[in-house]
Amino acid sequence: MLDTILKETEDRMHKALENTKDKFSHVRAGRASVSMLDGVSVEAYGVMTPLNQVGTVSAPEARLLTIDPWDKSIIPAIEKVILQANLGFNPSNDGKIIRLVVPELTEDRRKEYVKLVKKEAEEGKVAIRNVRKDVNNKIRKLEKDSEITEDELKSGEEKVQKMTDKFIAEIDDVLAKKEKELLKV
């Protein structure tokens, strides 16, 4: 019973960590990355479709993204959704490929991004602490209902705290790397 709860706890905390990493991947550091366009969809054949499913998205240079649509007739629609997504790109095309130049980040913008990732990291930590709180309440209820012993309760709470510390430390590590990446000129 307790092992199952601890396994679920680790899974939930891992999801919170992965969610935080995912949010970090959308914060650009002045370098082109195909993940910058994740979440941008274009209407193709009457259906909203992610960009990477209507063509090849690549980053051939450090500050350039290219989109090579398989159907050239949707180039105007792709350009329109990129502008609407407000990502700071000004798309240009030659009739075959759309090019997006990734602008250099200003010092102020870099600092704004650092604040943003710190906020995202704190939200990730709060999510992990909420998991800890839920699980500790569950474990206490099991002890109260005499399904586990007091020793198992203490042991379970200690394991949950160790997991919490581990995942919060991982978020701190990821945050430190992202900050370094953002502030690197």
| Element containing residue 170 per DSSP (H, E) | helix 150-183
Whether 97 and 111 share a structural domain: no
Tell me the HSE value of 5 on the side-chain side, using a 13 A CA sphere.
22
Least confident of 13-17, 32-36, 63-67, 143-147: 32-36
Distance CA 185, CA 173 (A): 20
**10 and 47 co-located in one domain:** no
According to DSSP, the residues that pair with 61 across neighbouring strands are: 64
Q: What is the mean pLDDT of the chain?
A: 89
21 and 111, same domain (yes or no):
yes
**pLDDT score of 134:** 96
Same domain, 56 and 2: no
Q: Residues 111, 178: one domain?
A: yes
1 with 68, same domain? no
Regarding whether 178 and 152 lie in a shared domain, the answer is yes
Side chain identity at residue 157, one-letter code: E
Q: How many domains does the chain have?
A: 2
- The reported pLDDT for the residue numbered 30 is 67
Tell me how far apart the alpha carbons of residues 62 and 68 are, in angstroms, rounded to a whole number: 18
CA 50, CA 42: separation in Å to the nearest integer? 6
Q: Is 52 in the same domain as 143?
A: no
What's the mean pLDDT in 49-56? 90
Contact 161, 169 (CB under 8 A): no
- State pLDDT tens for residues 144-185: 999 999 999 999 999 999 999 999 999 999 999 999 888 875
Q: Give me the pLDDT at residue 185, please.
A: 58
* Predicted confidence (pLDDT) at residue 139 exceeds the cutoff of 90: yes
For residue 14, give its domain range. Answer: 1-28+106-183
Q: Reduced to 3 states, what is the DSSP secondary structure of residue 60? A: strand
> What percent of the chain is predicted at pLDDT more than 90?
55
Give 86-131 pLDDT, tens digit per residue. 777 889 999 899 999 887 778 888 888 889 899 999 999 999 999 9
Residue 12 belongs to domain with CATH number: 1.10.132.20
- At 142, list the tokens: 């099991």
> In 26-149, which ranges are continuous DSSP H helix?
75-84, 107-144
Phi, psi of 66 (to 5 degrees): -125, 145
Show which of 61, 86, 101 is a domain's final residue.
101
Tell me, yes or no, whether 89 and 111 share the same domain.
no
Strand order in the sheet with 64-69: 55-61, 64-69, 98-101, 92-93
Q: What is the pTM of this model?
A: 0.69
Return the CATH number at 40.
3.30.1360.40
pLDDT for the residue numbered 156: 94
Q: Which of 81, 101, 121 is the last residue of a domain?
A: 101
Pair 99, 91: CB distance under 8 Å: yes
- Identify whether residues 117 and 59 lie together within a single domain: no
Residue 123 sits in the same domain as residue 179? yes
- 101, 133, 158 - which closes a domain: 101
User: Which residue would you say has higher pLDDT here, 37 or 145?
Assistant: 145
